[in-house]
Structure 1
Amino acid sequence: MKLSYITTLGIILMLSGTGCKRFLEQEPTRQTSIKNVDQLQALVDNSPALCDEPNNTAVFSTDDTEIPADFYKNNVNRAHALASIFYYVFDVDMIVGEPADNFWSREYRNIFTANTVLDNVEMAAGSATDKAMVKADAHFLRAYSYWMLANYYCLPYSSANLATPGLPLKKTSNVEESLKRSSLGEVYQFILDDLNEAMKVNREDVDASKRWRVTRKTVEAMLSRYYLFTEDYPKSLEYANRALSSTSVVLKDYKTIIASPPIVYNNPTASLEIPEMYNWSNLQTLQWPELYYPRYTNTPGQWFQPSESLLQMYEGQNDLRYKWFVIENGGRRFSVISPIAFRYSQFSDGRQIISGPSRAEMLLNKAEALARTGKPGEAMNAVNELRAARFTTPTNLSAADTNQAIKNVLAERRREFPFAMRWMDIRRFSINNYPGDDVTVTRNFFKVNAGGVDVNTPQTYTLPVGSKRYMVPINGVDINASNGQIEQNKY
């Protein structure tokens, strides 16, 4: 993963030091020093810079997160930053007024990296095979970033929403490209086209030591997700099964996870159990055996704060996802003593949780596609295959009918992917023809404004089913930098 060329490193440093304004509005430095395909491969091999998603919406805006009023009032100086609270209460204006949106910027930075590769690959020296592989990497990277952006800043995918505003589609690094938002339908078609291009790669299965290198199995996993979200359940099932034929992407049996030395606090005394992954390096995290492609929802605040409703989904310590990832007195990490505050921590001291396509996701995609097409028994078989690797003493789920099967699958999905997938799931549940999966998110908190949180004025906030606030507001800096080309979401 180390970059091989100073010129290539310079491109990455230039990207990492700029906001969205600079690489959407201004012409990038010409890559005249790129001579060969190895330099382009080094760009897409910069995995730590490409795989993190600093995503406040995923961390703070769903029913997986709860910041209890008494907790916040007692720990104002130790709790979450004010910008995070704006996302927690589904604000619009204060989010627009923030100095930057790192999630939007990071994904467009990835898109610029992909476009740099695609703009230069045919002129670079190298074999046809090497060029084809790096092109696949770039097409997939671009597709994935547009996927993430579309599932946060646009309305959910549906036939009724295809003509609504999508995203600025930057297809090259040419400054002359328009920043006007394409339609949602055009964005989804572009994503699908890029995935089909990536499928031309001649690598069949995932390299366990370089999971960021795109293979057919990588693309199949992403296509299963794409078709699940566009309600094409037969195709989602087809691609899930194809991805599951991988021999290098395997379930991690959580019974094999070992504990790291506990974290010990004094005054009052507390000894907190943590898993081995708590202190893993980036390289170790990138090699997690379940991943088809490494992506992580990231919070610099290091605190995914689980809601009571999420905690109640688990079967206590028997569910190893709870045992290893839910730290029951985790608030001590931030000097919170009272009330006891829970913390969800999967990797990197609570910074990262898996959001990229994984074997667990493919089993749940398969189960959901089967459940929604009237095959409850087969759906439960897929769910129970996952549960066998997640419990000290696994218990099999059963379903007598479609409704129970869907309920079981979605509950397992929430237990498996808290925070990382929940926002996207809530959105898609709202537009299908099955009201049993609809989610309303309610907050009992305090009055919030640009000046801070008024802890003496309680206020309730609600994100109703089908809300226009399913679209994250686009940052005002990016709107202004586009000279009127980028249209703000309408609420």
Structure 2
Amino acid sequence: MSMRRYILVLLCASLAGCEKYVNIKTQGTLVPGSYENYREMLDNTSEWEPAPFLGDYASDDVQFVDSSAQVVSLSSDDFYAHITNCYRWLPTIYLLGTYYAEDDNWNALYNTIAYANIVITEAPSATGATPAQIRELIAEALVHRADAYLGLVNTYAKPYTAATASTDLGVPLVLTETTTQSLTRATMQDTYTQVLKDLRTALPSLPATQAFNTLPSIPAVFGELARCFLYMNEYDSAAKYADSALSYRNTLDDLTQYQSISAANYPLRKADPEVLLSKVAGDGVSGYPPTAMRLSDTLLHVLDTTDQRYVLFTTDGSNIGFGYTGRYFYKDAAMGEARNDGPSVPEMMLIKAEALARAGDASGAMNWVNALRQKRFVNYVPLTATNAADGLQKVLQEREREFFCRMLRWWDMRRLKSDPTFQETLTRVFEGVTYTLAPTSNRYVFRISDYDEKLNPEIQQNP
């Protein structure tokens, strides 16, 4: 569904609604234009939580093995074409005329933005609420909009580079409740500026805690700001906001206390003390054949089998499907809920560690890394770094261990690909064909789907 189409649908169903509906009184307890309508909109988490998932299959965390039962299934029809196209770093992910012609990532994130715009536009005139309650509604919507734009720009635009951000293409900024407007892409700088503006505007009107992690709070905003500045390569600012987030929330799940996890014994995403703001991969629960993510040799090289993240969050292929071999990401399947991609306590700790390593403080960086790892290993032996460069290497490896098979690994690959220390040329084989991803490749940026380009021809396409 194009942006024009789904915005129209949303607006016709919105609380103020299209003209056809404005005089129809809601049956039951809700009244059009009332505070409770907007409160219930924001409590409907399915519309606010989606995060990108395409990069998970493009990242070096995943490895499909030729001639395996999984590859045979993936290749059987075009239902899975978007998955294998991501895996092969193909120029076009969503092909017109196939089962998946529309981009679920793009649609879900712009739907979140459309809902946010409804709240931001209409909530100021809501009835039955105090000014503080109305400000909180708007603040929550601003945070969700900012998160959606951060997800879009790190999927469909180049990695942020300060020197070219004023001319590099970002994504279309849709900031008002409307059915028609130009969808010409904003610059990279304007996109990031809008994200930061939304987050900073929201901050004063939010509470320090919320009943569920699906609802934005002060530490959630600080976490989003820290993440945003990290991907702008502004490490001091990222560390400052990570500090602020950790001053509110700093609890880690102690994985050493578990032999296995399930919804019965491990905190669900909405109540997990590590999660600052719950956001979920748009493809739902992984761990089911044939799209389950088989761990790559690259990841397994850095993921120790004594690491509780390996023990608890992965499983043998025999638990995925008949004839499946190797090791698979399984945390979300074990919990029965989609994997979290939102900001978290471990992410803030590793942002702090990376900033310290880049500033030359190897010891300080390792203190943060070890504080995390001691909750990830039984009988833990602390890591040390010989110098700042070694410390940075260890921090980035820890990010790979902590966030494997989740959105941040692909985002990290994008931001590090231009650094001579970390850049590499990746290769993978699928159905006998070798595919290559060089550091200079434009395949680190997903193209906007042909479907959306056809419906919205003013959207400039990625090369």
TM-score > 0.5, shorter chain as reference: yes
Which residue of structure 2 lines up, in the alignment, with residue 468 of structure 1? 442
Which residue of structure 1 lines up, in the alignment, with residue 393 of structure 2? 407
CA distance in 1, matches of 2:312, 2:461: 41
CA 1:143 to 1:401, structure 2 compared with 1: closer, same or farther past 3 Å? same
- 1:290–1:359 CA contact under 8 A, matched in 2: yes
Q: Does 1:345 align with 2:330?
A: yes
Select 2:262's aligned residue among 265, 272, 276: 276
CA 1:118 to 1:387, structure 2 compared with 1: closer, same or farther past 3 Å? same
Name the TM-score, length of structure 1 as normaliser: 0.83
Q: Does 1:444 align with 2:429?
A: yes
Which residue of structure 2 lines up, in the alignment, with residue 63 of structure 1? 60
- 1:202–1:215 CA contact under 8 A, matched in 2: yes
Q: Give 5+ residue unaligned stretches, structure 1.
A: 1-17, 260-274, 447-457
Q: What are the superposed Cα offsets for residues 116-147 of structure 1, whole Å, 9 maximum, x if unpaired?
A: 10110111111111011111101100000000
Partner of 1:443, secondary structure, is strand
Select 2:231's aligned residue among 223, 229, 238: 229
Q: Does 1:116 align with 2:113?
A: no
Select 1:293's aligned residue among 277, 280, 283: 277
Which residue of structure 2 lines up, in the alignment, with residue 158 of structure 1? 161
Name the TM-score, length of structure 2 as normaliser: 0.88
Q: What are the superposed Cα offsets for residues 409-455 of structure 1, whole Å, 9 maximum, x if unpaired?
A: 00110000012211110111124xx4212243211223xxxxxxxxx
Q: Does 1:38 align with 2:42?
A: no
The structure 1 segments of at least 4 consecutive aligned residues displaced by more than 3 Å after TM superposition are: 18-21, 24-27, 72-80, 277-280, 298-302, 348-351
CA 1:52 to 1:175, structure 2 compared with 1: closer, same or farther past 3 Å? closer
CA distance in 2, matches of 1:157, 1:50: 25
Letter aligned with residue 23 of structure 1: Y
Partner of 1:460, secondary structure, is strand
Point out the structure with the larger strand share: 1
Q: 1:351: how far off?
A: 6.2
CA distance in 1, matches of 2:264, 2:108: 24
- 2:206–2:216 CA contact under 8 A, matched in 1: no
Question: In terms of mean alpha carbon deviation, does 106-115 or 20-29 score higher?
Answer: 20-29
- 1:367–1:379 CA contact under 8 A, matched in 2: yes
CA distance in 2, matches of 1:142, 1:315: 37
- 2:139–2:206 CA contact under 8 A, matched in 1: no
Letter aligned with residue 108 of structure 1: Y
CA distance in 2, matches of 1:411, 1:145: 27
- 2:145–2:198 CA contact under 8 A, matched in 1: yes
CA distance in 1, matches of 2:119, 2:10: 16
**Superposition pairs for residues 288-367 of structure 1, below 5 Å?**
288-300=272-284, 302=288, 303-316=292-305, 318-330=306-318, 332-337=319-324, 340-349=325-334, 352-367=338-353
Partner of 1:311, secondary structure, is helix
Question: In terms of mean alpha carbon deviation, does 422-431 or 342-351 score higher?
Answer: 342-351
Q: 1:217: how far off?
A: 1.3
- 1:58–1:297 CA contact under 8 A, matched in 2: no
Q: What are the superposed Cα offsets for residues 357-395 of structure 1, whole Å, 9 maximum, x if unpaired?
A: 000000000000111111110000000000011111212
CA distance in 1, matches of 2:71, 2:343: 39
Partner of 1:118, secondary structure, is helix
CA 1:22 to 1:198, structure 2 compared with 1: closer, same or farther past 3 Å? same
CA distance in 2, matches of 1:54, 1:278: 28
Partner of 2:48, secondary structure, is helix
Letter aligned with residue 436 of structure 1: T
Which residue of structure 2 lines up, in the alignment, with residue 88 of structure 1? 87
Letter aligned with residue 47 of structure 1: T
Partner of 1:121, secondary structure, is helix
**Superposition pairs for residues 57-206 of structure 1, below 5 Å?**
57-71=54-68, 75-76=72-73, 81-97=80-96, 98-125=100-127, 126-162=129-165, 163-203=167-207, 205-206=208-209
- 2:170–2:189 CA contact under 8 A, matched in 1: yes
CA 1:442 to 1:24, structure 2 compared with 1: closer, same or farther past 3 Å? farther
CA 1:321 to 1:27, structure 2 compared with 1: closer, same or farther past 3 Å? closer
Which residue of structure 2 lines up, in the alignment, with residue 429 of structure 1? 416
Letter aligned with residue 67 of structure 2: D
Q: Give 5+ residue unaligned stretches, structure 2.
A: 17-21, 23-31
- 1:78–1:334 CA contact under 8 A, matched in 2: no
- 1:279–1:347 CA contact under 8 A, matched in 2: no
CA 1:101 to 1:489, structure 2 compared with 1: closer, same or farther past 3 Å? same
Letter aligned with residue 106 of structure 1: A
CA 1:166 to 1:390, structure 2 compared with 1: closer, same or farther past 3 Å? same
